[in-house]
Amino acid sequence: MKHLLIVLVGLLSINTAVAEPGQLFTLDVKLSHQNELFAEPSIMLEAGKTGEIAINGTRAFTLKLTVDEQADNTVKITSTLDSVYGEMAPVVVAKLNETATVSIGDLAIALNVRKANL
């Protein structure tokens, strides 16, 4: 039985000059190992704050994410993934609403960020 634990934690209170105060983003994430999808979580984060997603079980992982809005409709995504398949800590700059993918060996993370609609 899989257990899902999603925790939104504000570890950093860094606000960029571009981000609106309290700007919320939704991150859709796809995690894969050897081209096989093993998780597809989503999380809502405030700009500059760090959130964490943790899953227990045979496909266990912990993923920490921070989004900082940049100029020209782009965001900087800082991530740390610790999984049963390996670890990675990519930092990418991507356009809003476009998927950025990072692969290291057999492990891959695809990130898509959009402004949250509440």
What does the pLDDT read at residue 20?
59
pTM: 0.80
How many residues in total does the chain contain?
Answer: 118
pLDDT in tens, 19-33: 556 899 999 999 999
pLDDT in tens, 56-71: 999 999 999 999 999 8
Q: Is the pLDDT of residue 111 over 90?
A: yes
What stretches of 3-96 adopt beta strand conformation (E)? 3-8, 24-33, 36-39, 42-46, 50-56, 61-69, 74-83, 86-88, 91-95
| Nearest Cα to Cα of residue 39 among 77, 84, 9, 8 | 84
Give the residue, 118 or 85, on which the prediction is more confident: 85
